[in-house]
């Protein structure tokens, strides 16, 4: 039953963060990413991390869940960090003295390199935590609503905002169904002796055909049926269409916005007037 692992990992509890306007949460994520990449000293990143910690607390998401999101990218992050550690030549962009600590052939570890790697790890972790916080606290539906609303200005250049949003929401709606379907078809073929998880690459590609074809056929069939059902309910594009759900910007959102603004402002200030220059 794959469908029980809901897509986007929405974590269904009630909280301050869950109730925020999705648009704001998307903006927050973008702003936050900008902020952590602007930050050039540990204190600034520390403040950013504290803000995020606060957000996680307010979201009532268990820390285990948050850490699990980090675990998913752990290897990738560490790998990049190690590469940087050895190969970051110490061309001091941020730091003045490229003090070489250890050198062997092409490998060179510098103080700057260490700092760079540490920053990289912290930034990527904060980024991952912040974006998973968005998907943990926002249903796919309101996420699409938020994106649609934020993209609305693009209607002026005839960008099909409504269609895009509808496609996204239908895709989200059908992901659990198709995942279920995939599992069913895989089971049926396994019962007929298909070896779906062994053999070399060529064999595996061949083995996937009996799953892929029925899956595609079923997706097309569903698309047909959905099209009819939409037509039967008077769908005719975004023109003259009203929207039942309106996004509301409330005092909570204002609070979060102020917090974000303060964070970015603080980090920018610290960038030019470092508190603990290295």
Partner 1 sequence: MAKALEYRDVSFSYGEESAFRMEHLNFSVEEGEFVAVLGHNGSGKSTLARLANGLLVPDGGEVAVFGTTVTQKNLFDIRRQVGIVFQNPDSQAVASIVEDDVAFGAENVGLPREEIGERIEFALRAVGMEEYRTATVSRLSGGQKQRVAIAGVLALRPKIMILDESTAMLDPRGRREIVEVVKELNKREGITVLLITHFMEEALLCSRAVVMNRGEIVMQDTPEGIFRRGEELVTYNLALPRIGEICNRLRAGGMEVPYTLGVDALAEEIAKCVS
Partner 2 sequence: MRIVAEHLSYTYNADSPFATKALDDISLTIEEGEFFGIIGHTGSGKSTFVQHLNGLLRLPSSLKRGKKKDPAVLTVGEFDLTSRKTNFRALRRQVGMVFQYPENQLFAETVFEDVAFGYKNFAEKKPEADEVARAVREALEEVGLDYGEVKGMSPFDLSGGQKRRVAIAGVIVTKPEILVLDEPAAGLDPLGKREVMELLHRLREHWCKTVVVVSHDMDEIAENCTHVAVFAEGKVKKVLPPAELFPHAEELLSLGLDIPLTAKLVLALRKRGMEIDCDYTVEDFVKKVLAQKGEKC
Residues that bind partner 1 (CB under 8 A): 3, 6, 139-141, 166, 169-170, 172-173, 176-177, 221-222, 225-226, 228-236, 240-246
Taking Cα atoms as reference points, which of 140, 138, 162, 146 lies closest to residue 246? Answer: 146
Taking the complex as a whole, the smallest distance from the CB of residue 142 to partner 2 amounts, in Å, to 20
| Residue 49 burial by Cβ neighbours in a 10 Å radius (0-12, 13-18, 19+) | middle
Could you say which of partner 1, partner 2, none residue 232 binds, taking C-beta under 5 to 8 angstroms by partner kind?
partner 1
Task: Please tell me the distance from the alpha carbon of residue 17 to that of residue 263, in angstroms, as a whole number.
Answer: 17
User: CB of 67 within 8 A of CB of 80?
Assistant: no
Based on the shown chain and the rule CB under 8 A, indicate whether residue 187 belongs to the binding site for partner 2. Answer: yes
Q: How far is CA 56 from the centre of its chain?
A: 15
Q: Which of 189, 253, 260, 263 binds partner 2 (CB under 8 A)?
A: 189
Based on the shown chain and the rule CB under 8 A, indicate whether residue 83 belongs to the binding site for partner 2. Answer: no
Could you say which of partner 2, partner 1, none residue 185 binds, taking C-beta under 5 to 8 angstroms by partner kind?
partner 2
Question: What six digits make up the tokens of 208?
Answer: 């996937």
Residue carrying structure tokens 């704001």? 24
Contact string (CB under 8 A) for partner 2, positions 166-185, x = contact: ---------------x--xx
Could you say which of partner 1, partner 2, none residue 209 binds, taking C-beta under 5 to 8 angstroms by partner kind?
partner 2
Task: Please tell me the distance from the alpha carbon of residue 197 to that of residue 135, in angstroms, as a whole number.
Answer: 31
Q: Which of residues 9-48 bind partner 2 (CB under 8 A)?
A: 11
Instruction: Write out the E strands in the chain.
Output: 100-104, 107-110
Q: Which residues bind partner 2 (CB under 8 A)?
A: 1, 4-6, 11, 181, 184-185, 187-195, 209-211, 213-214, 217-218
């Amino acid at each position: 039953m794959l469908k029980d692992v809901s897509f986007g990992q929405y974590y269904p509890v009630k909280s301050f963060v869950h109730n925020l306007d999705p648009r704001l949460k998307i903006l927050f994520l973008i702003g936050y990413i900008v902020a952590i990449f602007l930050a050039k000293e540990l204190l600034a990143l520390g403040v950013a991390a504290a803000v995020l910690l606060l957000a996680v607390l307010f979201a009532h998401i268990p820390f285990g869940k948050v850490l699990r999101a980090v675990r998913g990218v752990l290897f990738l992050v560490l790998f990049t960090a190690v590469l940087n550690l050895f190969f970051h030549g110490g061309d001091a962009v941020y730091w003045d003295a490229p003090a070489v600590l250890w050198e062997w052939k092409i490998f060179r570890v510098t103080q700057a390199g260490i700092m760079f790697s540490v920053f990289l790890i912290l930034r990527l972790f904060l980024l991952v935590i912040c974006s998973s916080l968005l998907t943990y606290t926002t249903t796919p539906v309101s996420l699409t609503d938020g994106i649609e609303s934020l993209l609305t200005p693009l209607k002026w250049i005839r960008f099909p905002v409504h269609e895009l949003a509808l496609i996204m929401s239908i895709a989200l709606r059908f992901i659990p169904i198709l995942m279920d379907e995939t599992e069913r078809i895989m089971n049926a073929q396994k019962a007929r002796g298909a070896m779906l998880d062994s053999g070399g690459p060529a064999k595996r590609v061949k083995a996937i055909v009996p799953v892929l074809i029925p899956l595609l056929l079923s997706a097309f069939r569903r698309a047909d049926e959905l099209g009819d059902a939409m037509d039967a309910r008077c769908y005719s594009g975004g023109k003259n269409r009203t929207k039942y759900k309106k996004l509301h910007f409330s005092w909570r959102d204002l609070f979060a916005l102020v917090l974000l603004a303060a964070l970015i402002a603080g980090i920018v200030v610290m960038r030019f007037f470092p508190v603990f220059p290295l």
